[in-house]
Amino acid sequence: MLRCEISISYREIYSKQLDSLNNFHEKDKVKQLSGIKSNIDDMHARGKINDQHYTDLKKRISVFYEEILKNEIDSLNSLPGGDKVTGLDKIKNEISDAYSKEMINELHYSLLKEKLSD
């Protein structure tokens, strides 16, 4: 019972931290998101966050990160040809890196790859 209450408390703390990301600039969001994810991973490894709360928090992180990357892709539409290609290559690398670091889940990875091909 106590273990579940502790997990709920941590979930609430990290949920509030994720909610506060809306107050940050896009580039700062990535840095903050990375720190939050690292803390969540650590608390889960130490048994402070149960599997269900961990999964829920990871989904929220993936949604945030997918939105950031989607906005980056959309911002490339106004760039000239060469700059757009360079930007797309950079974002492709960011997407692969985010997926390899488990910042985005498989669904968001697929959606972002699809958006890049449009």
| Gap between the Cα atoms of 34 and 30, Å rounded | 6
Domain coverage including residue 43: 2-117
Position 110 scores a pLDDT of: 96
What is the tally of structural domains in the chain? 1
Position 48 scores a pLDDT of: 92
What is the C-alpha end-to-end distance of the chain, expressed in Å?
A: 49
Q: What confidence tier does 85 reach under pLDDT thresholds 50, 70, 90? A: confident
Task: Assign 3-class secondary structure to 78-118.
Answer: HCCHHHHHHHHHHHHHHHHHHHHCCCCCHHHHHHHHHHHHC
Mean pLDDT of 42-64: 95
